[in-house]
Structure 1
Amino acid sequence: MPDSETQKNEWRATLEQADKMGTRLSDDGWQVVTVRAAHVTPIPPTDDPEGRPGLAYIAQGEVAEPFQRVINGGTFDNYEVFNRAVGSDIFSLTRVSDTENEVAVLLVGTLNRSSLETLPETAIQRGELYSHVDLLDGTRLGSFHHSTPSLFFPGESE
């Protein structure tokens, strides 16, 4: 298990990677919103009212308005996942893009493998996973569909 200093360094590196990516996209004329999750919670299909297994990124309230503004009417047809597994932690950066409108949402968070339970297996079997952006009060701001769930879970296979 990594020590807290290693975890801090990995989290810092993940945030720096997100900042650089956001700056690069903005410099290229893209609209970018970064969601730095205070917490990432796995959502098994039985716990989601719509049966959409995924990861809930618990966002700060100030991201709500810019997030909803950029996703409104967008078609987020592309995503890339940049994960680093360190011990039982997964440091995650996901870029979800509407390439036609040059809009990107960067989802940044940390997951603990022990909290995932059966989510990786279920999502891989179903061939789908969702990234949900929620506020602390449970308000869902939006969701993104992913057809290759194994990208989110290093070491899991399809």
Structure 2
Amino acid sequence: MVHDSPADPRDRRQYDPEGVQSEAWKQTLEDMEAIAEERRDDGWDVVTIMAAHTDTVSRDMGEEDTFGLFHVVPNNYADKFTDAYDSDEYTEYLAYGTMIDGFMFVVTELIDPDGDRSILIASRYDMTFADGMVTSAEDEGVLYTHVRTIDGTILGTFEHEEYEPLISPPHA
């Protein structure tokens, strides 16, 4: 028997018969490439990374001091990230994105302003599962972005003191 839609309401949210989320993801990737091209035209070194999956993790879900956005990157992006990233040099960030059907579609740009370098990470994450992460960020006054491999190896961590662009849609 073929089902037109998943039975579990959480799965139904990910069911995308009109292609709205697929189009949002495609637009996110296009935005990442446009930002990268603009930076490169200005003489910057730019690395682009597509997160295969992003988790929203609260302190209650694991180690108490480890929470935030966990971007899982495929192995073919791991070396690109580690070759470029230095937590002491990447001190700024920008976030570009939108919320569609409760999912954030975001390009996070980690910036090394002195070295004219940028790492762009395209991601998609479900904000309906993010309440604990948001509470952890509000309690601590920071949100973390962690880049890791599928086996859980943390490749780098970035601290966001201003994190609202990563957890809420832009205000009109």
Deviates more, 1:144-153 or 1:45-54: 45-54
5+ residue gaps, structure 1, are none
CA shift at 1:124, angstroms?
Answer: 2.3
1:18-58 deviation digits (Å, cap 9, x = unpaired): 00111111222211111201100112124454713210100
Aligned CA RMSD, in angstroms, stands at 2.0
Is 2:55 the counterpart of 1:41? yes
Which letter does structure 2 place at the counterpart of 1:142? G
TM-score by length of 1: 0.89
Native 8 Å contact 2:87 2:157 kept in 1 = no
For residue 94 of structure 1, the aligned residue among 108, 124, 143 is 108
- Aligned residue number for residue 20 of structure 2: 6
User: CA–CA distance in 2 between the matches of 1:40 and 1:73?
Assistant: 20
CA shift at 1:130, angstroms?
Answer: 0.7
- Aligned residue number for residue 25 of structure 1: 39
For residue 142 of structure 1, the aligned residue among 140, 156, 162 is 156
Which letter does structure 2 place at the counterpart of 1:92? V
Is 2:134 the counterpart of 1:120? yes
TM-score by length of 2: 0.82
Is 2:81 the counterpart of 1:67? yes
User: CA–CA distance in 1 between the matches of 2:76 and 2:56?
Assistant: 23
CA shift at 1:73, angstroms?
Answer: 6.7
1:90-129 deviation digits (Å, cap 9, x = unpaired): 1111111010011111111111112213211221232101
- Aligned residue number for residue 130 of structure 1: 144
Aligned residues: 156
- Point out the structure with max Rg over C-alpha: 2
4+ residue stretches of structure 1 with deviation over 4 A?
A: none
User: CA–CA distance in 2 between the matches of 1:32 and 1:48?
Assistant: 32
